[in-house]
């Protein structure tokens, strides 16, 4: 279960995603199959996070306990997702892993416009990157 620990940029307080919304985003992002996914899911079980909501992006910075098993692949973004919006530019989700641990979920509009409220996840494409898809770590 995620725990929200702080909010930056209070001028965006009203359009900040809730913990439940972030969990939905992560669930949709991590529905794709790739090697090491189970490790990332375990890391998120007791994760804490901090929100940075800027113009055209949302950064969700994670704090993962170092007792958790590290992701064994040397790849910075093992999974990304593009969510196509009705009559708007797509929203892109990038899950960053640093030194074996989830570091950040980066969410931004393809045209850098302000992300307002709800993001539709009806039509999405997933892309698994590099070593996370290979047979050997």
Contact assessment for residue 115 and residue 109, using Cβ atoms and an 8 Å cutoff: yes
Contact assessment for residue 124 and residue 84, using Cβ atoms and an 8 Å cutoff: yes
Structural domain boundaries, residue 13 = 3-133
Read off the pLDDT of residues 81-114 as tens digits, 9 standing for 90 and up. Answer: 999 999 889 999 999 999 999 999 999 999 988 8
User: What's the token pair of residue 52?
Assistant: 């940075």
What is the model's pLDDT at position 1?
59
Number of other CB atoms surrounding residue 16 within 10 Å = 17
Read off the pLDDT of residues 39-58 as tens digits, 9 standing for 90 and up. Answer: 999 999 989 999 988 778 99
What is the model's pLDDT at position 14?
52
Domain count, the chain: 1
Number of other CB atoms surrounding residue 77 within 10 Å = 16
Confidence of residue 135 (pLDDT cuts 50, 70, 90): very low
């Amino acid at each position: 279960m995620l725990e929200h620990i702080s909010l930056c940029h209070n001028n965006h307080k009203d359009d900040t995603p809730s913990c439940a919304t972030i969990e939905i985003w992560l669930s949709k992002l991590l529905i794709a199959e790739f090697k090491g996914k189970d490790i990332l899911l375990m890391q998120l079980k007791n994760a804490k996070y901090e929100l940075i909501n800027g113009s055209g992006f949302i950064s969700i910075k994670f704090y993962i306990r170092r007792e958790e098993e590290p992701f064994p692949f040397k790849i910075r973004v093992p999974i990304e997702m593009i969510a196509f919006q009705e009559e708007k530019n797509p929203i892109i989700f990038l899950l960053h892993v640093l030194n074996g641990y989830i570091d950040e979920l980066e969410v931004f509009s393809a045209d850098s416009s302000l992300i307002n409220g709800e993001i539709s996840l009806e039509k999405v494409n997933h892309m698994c990157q590099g070593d996370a898809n290979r047979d050997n770590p």
